[in-house]
Amino acid sequence: MIGPMKRHLAKVLVVAGLLAFIIIVVWPFLANLGKASSGEIAGALGNIIGGAIGALGSAAAVYLMLKGQRDDETEKTSAAIRREVTELCKGPIGQLTACAMIQDGRIRPPKSELKRLFSAPVPTIYPAVADRISRLPRRTLVVTFYMQLQETMGLVAVIENSEPRDEIVTGGHIQSLADLLISQCQLAKMILSSAEPDPTREAALVTAQRRVMLRQLDEELAAARLVFPNAEGFQQGVAPSHEGASSTSSQTAANDCR
């Protein structure tokens, strides 16, 4: 709502400025044009042209300054999001490992333990820069990744609260959860690999950390493919969310990456 109001106000100011220019400058100039000599006309035209060139130059300088600030802010926002995704993707990696162990029967947790087993940190950077996400080059991937983090918690809560509450979790309970986690790992991989490291803007430690996480994501996805060979994520590139709730957004994310 604020955006359209600002644009409308800007249009009103532009129109008011043009009217003021015509009334103050153009109209008196045209009114006195017939009374002036050729030299006076040439001088007046020179002043007008010079003023217009100066105004255009000032406007161009302001535009370039604002564009530079915007580009710098976008790069900082993108770098901050990549750093947070690097940390947050540790959750889906570990959770996907837990799903594989449940599928294989190596662990047999009761439903009451799922929330603790699949706990994850709360994002902090994304909520702070959410109003600038639209400027990022891979915004669809970023938004889908963070949305699916929330979907994971919702799906875990559904499994945990289903009857009977004291039932042991088996492979039949976590198929949709595994699909969702595979999708998250794939999205994290696309986000982290979508930008080349810039040594002038990014610390070497952060670059190395991202490379480690990309390697771990590759290893986890390869291991998950052996346990869940029919997972939708391995059939379609990016797995849809639970019960198809986010199939459209996941497909859009895959298209955005291309």
Determine the distance from the C-alpha atom of residue 228 to the mean position of all C-alpha atoms in its chain, rounded to a whole number.
Answer: 29
The answer to whether the CB of 110 falls within 8 A of the CB of 164 is: no
Q: How confident is the model at residue 168 (pLDDT cuts 50, 70, 90)?
A: very high
Q: What is the DSSP string of 139-159?
A: HHHHHHHHHHHHHHHHHHHHH
Alpha helix positions (H), 89-138: 90-104, 114-117, 125-129
**Maximum C-alpha span of the chain:** 100
More confident residue, 209 or 89: 89
Question: How far apart, in whole angstroms, are the C-alpha atoms of residue 208 and residue 203?
Answer: 9
Nearest Cα to Cα of residue 185 among 84, 91, 73, 249: 91
Structure tokens belonging to residue 80: 């901050």
Structure tokens belonging to residue 9: 């106000």
Least confident among 40-49, 127-136, 146-155, 167-176: 40-49
Least confident among 31-45, 89-103, 130-144, 213-227: 31-45
Residue 201, SS3 per DSSP: coil
Question: How far apart, in whole angstroms, are the C-alpha atoms of residue 53 and residue 55?
Answer: 5
- Reported residue count of the chain is 258
Query: 0.75 cut: is pTM over it?
Result: no
Place of tokens 């709502």: 1
More confident residue, 202 or 62: 62
Least confident among 31-40, 71-80, 211-220: 31-40
Structure tokens belonging to residue 227: 């346990």
CA distances to 91, 120, 216 from 117, rounded to whole Å, are 10, 9, 20
Nearest Cα to Cα of residue 29 among 21, 55, 236: 21
**Exposed, middle or buried: residue 182 (CB in 10 Å: 0-12, 13-18, 19+)?**
buried
* % pLDDT > 90, the chain: 30
